[in-house]
Every structure is written in C-alpha cells, then in structure tokens.
C-alpha cells in the first residue's frame, strides 16, 4: 500500500523524528539526573547523588527536592516550567503531524498553514528546551556551585537537549516535505 496523495516519505521521517524527540525529552524531563556526582549518605557510605528537576537521589533513595512550591528557587522553577512547555509544544507538533496524516488519508485538502504550525511548534519546543537547560546550567548548576562540589551535568539534561533538537529537526523536515 502506498502513501496517501500529498504525503511523502519526508512527512513520515518528520513524524518519526517528532516522536523520537518527544520521547527523549520526556525521559530527560522525568528522570532525576540533571546533575550527578559522588557523595556520602547519612551513614557515611559513598553513593552517587543525582539532582533532577523535582527529585534528589542518594544512591537508590529518592525524595522530593523541596518541601513546598514556595521553597523552590526561581531558576529551578524556570527550568521546570520551560521543560514542561517544551514537552507541550512537542506533543502539539506530533499531534498535528498525525492529524495531517489522517486528513490526507481521508483525502481532505492539504493546508500549508498546518505544516507551518507543526514547524513552529517544533522550533518553539527547541527554544523552550534551550531556555530550560540554560536556566538549569546557569541558574541552578552555577548558583549552587555544583561544579565545585564535584557534580557533572547528568544524562537527563542531555536527553532533554537532544530531544528538543530532534523535535525541531522533525518539525522542519515535515514542513519542507512536498
């Protein structure tokens, strides 16, 4: 079975990239390793400590990072908020790409506006991820001197950044597809 009229392989590639990027960003957003390093727990045992956007993990023991919303420092709030906004923009881009595919299967007229909105949502997702990772790197990592305490940037921040880039590429590929 061939592709519907007006739907090319590049549309499929763009949609797959949107999905992969969204999964990477969500995994980065949800996992507690935006900064990680080695420290000691309450018993003096050496463990890997990991800071996420919402959790702190000492080895296998994870707990909420802050007691209440009022205790969360502004850079941490900004990093969390923009990370969530990036996820929402990625979901919008992927959802609209799927909607475009359904409309083509139903032989509805193609609109350039929808493809443009998909691209804009992908770019917006990347911008939100850039702001989020910048807030964490500049506002949290530097402010709390995590580098001096032996902490490195963790895999969660990297997954989130790569996911944002892939979402943006997927949106652009979807737009340029003929």
Structure tokens at 136: 């964490």
How many Å apart are CA 58 and CA 104, to the nearest integer?
50
**Res 57: pLDDT:** 86
Model confidence over 9-27: pLDDT tens digits?
999 999 999 999 999 999 9
Are the CB atoms for 25 and 86 separated by under 8 Å? yes
Q: How buried is 39 (Cβ within 10 angstroms: 0-12 exposed, 13-18 middle, 19+ buried)? A: middle
Q: Within its chain, how far is the Cα of 42 from the centroid?
A: 33
Structure tokens at 173: 């590929």
Q: What proportion of the chain, given as a percentage, has pLDDT over 90?
A: 52
Model confidence over 89-112: pLDDT tens digits?
999 999 999 999 888 888 777 788
**Res 130: pLDDT:** 97
Model confidence over 148-173: pLDDT tens digits?
778 889 999 999 999 999 999 999 99
**Res 137: pLDDT:** 87
As assigned by CATH, the class of the 9-32+72-176 domain is mainly alpha
pTM of the entire predicted model:
0.89
């Amino acid at each position: 079975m061939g592709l519907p009229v007006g739907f090319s392989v590049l549309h499929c590639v763009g949609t797959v990239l949107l999905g992969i990027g969204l999964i990477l960003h969500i995994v980065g957003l949800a996992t507690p390793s935006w900064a990680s390093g080695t420290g000691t727990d309450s018993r003096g045992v050496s463990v890997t400590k990991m800071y996420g956007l919402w959790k702190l993990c000492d080895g296998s023991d994870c707990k909420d990072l802050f007691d209440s919303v009022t205790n969360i420092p502004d850079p941490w709030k900004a990093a969390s908020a923009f990370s969530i906004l990036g996820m929402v923009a990625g979901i919008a881009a992927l959802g609209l790409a799927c909607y475009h595919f359904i409309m083509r299967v139903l032989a509805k007229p193609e609109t350039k506006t929808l493809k443009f909105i998909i691209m804009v949502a992908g770019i917006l997702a990347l911008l939100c991820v850039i702001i989020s990772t910048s807030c964490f790197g500049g506002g949290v990592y530097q402010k709390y001197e995590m580098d001096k305490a032996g902490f490195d940037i963790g895999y969660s921040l990297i997954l989130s950044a790569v996911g944002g880039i892939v979402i943006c590429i997927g949106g652009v590929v979807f737009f340029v597809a003929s």
